[in-house]
Amino acid sequence: MTIQVGDRIPTTQLVKVTDEGPEQISSDEYFAGRKVALFSVPGAFTPTCSAKHLPGFVEKADELKAKGVDEIACTAVNDAFVMGAWGKASGVDGKVTMLADGNGTFAKAVDLEMDGSGFGLGTRGKRYSMVVNDGVVEQLHVEAPGQFEVSSADYLLGRL
C-alpha cells in the first residue's frame, strides 16, 4: 500500500552523496529528529527533472528553510555517482542533499514505483514531494503520470 500522510517512513538503506564519496545511511537515521522536504524524480539528467524539478528546489531552498524545513533532499533510482554528478552539474551547492536509491528499495518500500520501461528506464520512482517530520509523513504530493504540478518547490512552499 502506498505510504500515506501520518505513516512512518519504512526502514530502508539510502546512499547519501557527500564530498568524501557515497555514504550508506538508514532512512530511520536520516529522517530522525528533523523536518525534511523530500522530492523524488524519475531520473537524474532527464528533461523535466533537470530543467524544472531540481532547479526549483535549489532556487527555493532558503524560503523552504525559513518555513521550518531543516533539510531538502532529492531521491531517484540512480546510483550515488550519477546523483553526485547531477547535483554538481545542477549547482546544488549544499542546498539539496542527493540521496541515491540505486536498487529502488526506498521507492518500493513507500510503494511509489513506476514502470519506465517504455522509455528504456526500467523500474523507477514516481515524481512526488513529501514533508517528513521526525520520520512521519506530514505531506505527500504524488504527480499523475507525465505531470509536473504538485511536486514542485513552489507548490510545497505554498503548503508549509
Where residue 56 sits, what CATH number does that domain have?
A: 3.40.30.10
Q: Which residue has the higher pLDDT, 57 or 19?
A: 57
For position 150, what pLDDT does the model report? Answer: 95
For position 85, what pLDDT does the model report? Answer: 93
94 occurs within a structural domain: yes
pLDDT at residue 132 greater than cutoff 80: yes
The 10s digit of each residue's pLDDT in 20-45 is 889 999 999 999 999 999 999 998 88
Look over the chain and give the mean of its residue pLDDT values, rounded to a whole number: 93
Sign of the torsion angle spanned by Cα atoms 84, 43, 157, 111: negative
Range of weakest confidence among 10-24, 44-58, 123-137, 142-156: 44-58
**What's the average model confidence in pLDDT over 66-78?**
97
54 occurs within a structural domain: yes
21 occurs within a structural domain: yes
Looking at the 3D structure of the chain, how many domains does it have? 1
For position 1, what pLDDT does the model report? Answer: 81
Q: Which of 9, 15, 44, 49 is catalytic?
A: 49
Identify the domain containing residue 101 by its residue range: 13-158
Using CA atoms of 142, 148, 152, 155 in order, give the dihedral in degrees to the nearest 10. Answer: -80
SS3 track for the chain: CCCCCCCECCCCEEEEEECCEEEEEEHHHHHCCCEEEEEECCCCCCHHHHHHHHHHHHHCHHHHHHCCCCEEEEEECCCHHHHHHHHHHHCCCCCCEEEECCCCHHHHHCCCEEECHHHCCCEEECCEEEEEECCEEEEEEECCCCCCCCCCHHHHHHCC
CA 31 to each of CA 11, 133, 151: distance values in angstroms, whole numbers, following the listed order:
10, 7, 19
pLDDT at residue 19 greater than cutoff 80: yes
Strand partners, 141: 129
The 10s digit of each residue's pLDDT in 79-117 is 999 999 999 999 998 999 999 999 999 999 999 998 877
Our answer to whether residue 49 is catalytic in this structure is: yes
The 10s digit of each residue's pLDDT in 46-55 is 777 777 899 9
Q: Is 50 exposed, middle or buried (0-12, 13-18, 19+ CB in 10 A)?
A: middle
124 occurs within a structural domain: yes
**What's the average model confidence in pLDDT over 117-137?**
89
8 occurs within a structural domain: no
pLDDT at residue 119 greater than cutoff 90: no
For position 118, what pLDDT does the model report? Answer: 79
46 occurs within a structural domain: yes
CA 156 to each of CA 14, 109, 138, 149: distance values in angstroms, whole numbers, following the listed order:
23, 23, 12, 10
2 occurs within a structural domain: no
29 occurs within a structural domain: yes
